[in-house]
Amino acid sequence: MTARGDADTELIARYLRGDADAFDQLMRAHEDRVFAVCLRLLRDREAALDATQETFITVFRKVDRFAGHSAFSTWLYRVAVNTCYDQARRAGRRAADPLPEGMDQPDEAAGRALEAAELRPDLEAALAQLSTEFRSAVVLCDAEGLSLQTAAEILGVPVGTVKSRVFRGRRLLAEALGNLRPVPDHLSDEHHG
């Protein structure tokens, strides 16, 4: 287990013993990453803030159900992704406009360039065109840098499904960005279906 994983386990145990400050520490340790996932999935800052808050309310109420079979962060991301799916369904699956430049603040603690920099507006617009399933897989694997296995646990699908969604999502992004010519469906299905 990682140092973060060990710290999370200890904070959960303290919270379950009645230490309310432990939950605050747990939330502060993960809130920026949860917000980043929600923002990339929902494409609306206010909706992402609401989803982040709703995620932590759910975790606050249900952390005693966290079984420890995976990292706490994996379970937390699954709650966040499910919250975003629910919120998108309630909103009628309407597409959001791309974020104005400068609204998605860089995560100063991020080590990777993609996390530390704002996504290009054309990439944001292309991500918004993807179905929720493809966007979730691409965001978790490419933007958040999670492994296929971890993304599969978060999304509740087999690893092969995540691989397929990431492959197809990347291909659709490349087409939308003009980096790849569309492949006719009958050829795409023969080789990757």
Say whether pLDDT at 63 is over 50.
yes
How far is residue 101 from each of residues 10, 32, 44, 126, 154, measured CA to CA in Å? Answer: 39, 19, 13, 15, 29
Q: Bigger pLDDT: 186 or 51? A: 51
The per-residue pLDDT for 10 is 93
Say whether pLDDT at 186 is over 70.
no
Mean pLDDT is highest, among 15-19, 90-94, 171-175, for: 15-19
Say whether pLDDT at 168 is over 60.
yes
Instruction: Name residue 87's amino acid.
Output: Q
Q: Which domain holds residue 183?
A: 3-192
Q: Which residues contact 42 (CB under 8 A, 6 or more apart)?
A: 48, 51, 84, 87, 88, 96
Structure tokens at 144: 């958040």
Instruction: Name residue 71's amino acid.
Output: A
The per-residue pLDDT for 89 is 84
How far is residue 107 from each of residues 115, 125, 173, measured CA to CA in Å? Answer: 6, 20, 23
CATH number for the domain including 42? 1.10.1740.10
Instruction: Choose the weakest-confidence range: 95-104, 130-139, 167-176.
Output: 95-104
Give the mean pLDDT of the chain: 80
The per-residue pLDDT for 182 is 57
Mean pLDDT is highest, among 49-53, 66-70, 117-121, for: 49-53
Q: Bigger pLDDT: 149 or 188? A: 149
Three-class secondary structure assignment of 28-51: HHHHHHHHHHHHHHHCCHHHHHHH
Tokens 């958040």 sit on residue: 144
The per-residue pLDDT for 108 is 42
Q: Nearest Cα to 43, choosing from 113, 92, 104?
A: 104
Domain total of the chain: 1
Say whether pLDDT at 126 is over 90.
no
Say whether pLDDT at 157 is over 60.
yes
Could you report the per-residue pLDDT of 79-103, keeping only the tens digit for each?
A: 999 999 898 888 765 444 444 444 4
Helices (H), 63-184: 72-90, 113-116, 121-129, 132-138, 148-155, 159-176
